[in-house]
Amino acid sequence: MDTSYYVPDKTEAWQNLKRYAQKQGVDVRHEFELDSERSRVFSVRTNELFLDYSKNLINSEIWTDLIALAENSPLQQMKNSMFSGKKINTSENRAVLHTLLRKNQASEIDELDKLLKKVKGQSQNIKKVSERIRSGLWLGVDGKPITDVVNIGIGGSDLGPRLACNALAEFRHPKINTHFVGNVDGAEILSTLNKLDPQRTLIIIASKTFKTQETLMNGNTAIKWLRQNLKIADPQKTDHLIAVTANPNNALEFGVNESNILQFSDWVGGRYSLWSSIGISIAISAGYDRFHEMLVGAQEMDEHFLTAPTGKSMPVALALLSIWYSSFLNLETHAVIPYCERLQLLPSYLQQLAMESNGKSVSRQGQPLDYATSPVIWGQTGTNGQHAFFQLLHQGSHTIPIDFIAACSDAMSTPKHHEALIGNMLAQGSALMLGQSASPSKMHQHYPGNNPSNTILIDKLSAKNFGALIALYEHKVFVEGCIWNINSFDQWGVELGKKMANNLISSEGSLPNLDASTRSLFAHQRARSGMY
């Protein structure tokens, strides 16, 4: 899609915002004094998600120009193109259709309708396999039902399903445990397998290409473990192993039975793949009905994103604030702090979603950018974070925007515990904004305040609301990319390190094209490892 006409930092709105950023900053406390309706004006609700963004460093003039920035960008054109199946991933000449994975009705576009029918078929395979496993009808070679499932993948094939299974722990099958192995560190796969019964273990190898080095190495280790313990030559040909991939031919060459290959399409990006067959572990752990509810919640957020006016769109609000902080106020990091232990992996998941998508420094036309793009995403759960890094948030020299996220009610907690949890979160947001004065002799007790934050409240952490939350951040990242005029759907930045690692691993002692420092480190490791 051609967006060559669009140069964001040359637009009138961008120039206005640049001038605002150079003036004396906004004091949110003063803005609340000026407008008693501020929290109502700067908030938005869709279904069971509520966003309050009134504690941010904006006033009505800044917000008006941020909205104008969005409306004068290719956002609407790109949005229509994405949902209609145009190839907006220009560097790889691919459509971006993760939203089709959760679409619940026929498309008016014939080509999309064909793809949708294929997706529905893949979803039925997820249902069939997961229900057989959950009902105890999926048996190992010794006739015993599966009690442990090990998902082997990396990146989107690991982070999304791992997060979802944790988030939906309330619905976890009482007799089936789900484990995840992502890192090529052998200690992770070996320590996981060593505590399992091979007769009751199912291995899922999840890889889009079925060529991912780390995943296949871990997969081969798992197959060797099955072979040694089950005394069978080819465990990959049994019901102890399932492949999930967009490249079934590679899975067949690996030795997996065709009936045990769950497919998804190559237009599904890795960091958007939990909605696809990659989500089989979610359906096994929480049940296919919950997996489907997750898709429904995401689809509802898709509809909100498609139909809400720019100024009333939750994803647009989050994206514009991120752009304001990153590109204009030069704030380089953004913290995500869920006050829900089951969402402890959300910051890690959003790191990949945001930084792999928008960690770019060239435009869609390949031109260097003169402005900052994605901030560094980080965080952990509250209240743990309060006893780790909140000191810096309150009194440090960095201004760090925060997303606070919590459920209004929690069936897995008690009213007393949940009241304490939510009380802490709301108090932190207020304290960060209001601050506290101190006498000159006690400046160590001074809190400057005026620290920005968003608060997202979910009615409850249901599968549907979890799906909506993840889709919210997907669309936030998309909006950022449209306004920054970058391709959010490729990840060429991971290729060089991968290529060099492959060369080094296969070098057999020679050190091709490595710098002096790396050659020295390689030699030191070999000498000290005792393996050579």
Secondary structure (DSSP) of 478-515: HHHHHHHT--TT--GGGHHHHHHHHHHHTSTT--TT--
For residue 387, indicate whether it is catalytic: yes
Q: Is the pLDDT of residue 510 over 90?
A: no
The pLDDT tens digits of the residues spanning 229-266 come to 999 999 999 999 999 999 999 999 999 999 999 999 99
In angstroms, the CA 275 to CA 290 distance is 12
In angstroms, the CA 372 to CA 255 distance is 47
* pLDDT bucket at 79, cuts 50 / 70 / 90: very high
* pLDDT bucket at 24, cuts 50 / 70 / 90: confident
The pLDDT tens digits of the residues spanning 323-366 come to 999 999 999 999 999 999 999 999 999 999 999 999 999 999 99
Which segments of 370-416 are extended strands (E)? 376-378, 402-409
| Of 65-74, 476-485, 509-518, 521-530, minimum mean pLDDT range | 509-518
The pLDDT tens digits of the residues spanning 439-470 come to 999 999 999 999 999 999 999 999 999 999 99
Which one of 10, 23, 387, 444 is the catalytic residue? 387
317 and 305 in contact (C-beta within 8 Å)?
Answer: no
**Residue 451 is which amino acid?**
N
For residue 498, indicate whether it is catalytic: yes
In angstroms, the CA 282 to CA 164 distance is 6
Q: Give the SS3 label for residue 179.
A: strand
Kindly list the distances between the CA atom of residue 106 and the CA atoms of 48, 112, 113, 155, 275, in Å, as whole numbers in the listed order: 25, 8, 6, 31, 18
In angstroms, the CA 502 to CA 184 distance is 13
Residue 4's pLDDT is what? 78
In angstroms, the CA 350 to CA 206 distance is 20
For residue 356, indicate whether it is catalytic: yes
511 and 504 in contact (C-beta within 8 Å)?
Answer: yes
Cα three-residue angle 488-494-499, rounded to 5 degrees: 145
Kindly list the distances between the CA atom of residue 434 and the CA atoms of 55, 335, 429, 453, in Å, as whole numbers in the listed order: 10, 19, 9, 12
Cα three-residue angle 279-101-168, rounded to 5 degrees: 35
Q: Bridge-partner residues for 333, per DSSP?
A: 376
Residue 509's pLDDT is what? 62
* pLDDT bucket at 108, cuts 50 / 70 / 90: confident
> If you count them, how many residues does the chain have?
532
Which one of 31, 48, 356, 474 is the catalytic residue? 356
Which one of 231, 498, 499, 524 is the catalytic residue? 498
Interhelix angle 60-71/463-484, nearest 10 degrees: 80
132 and 173 in contact (C-beta within 8 Å)?
Answer: no
* pLDDT bucket at 526, cuts 50 / 70 / 90: confident
Residue 514's pLDDT is what? 84
For residue 433, the number of C-alpha atoms closer than 13 Å in the C-beta half-sphere is: 24
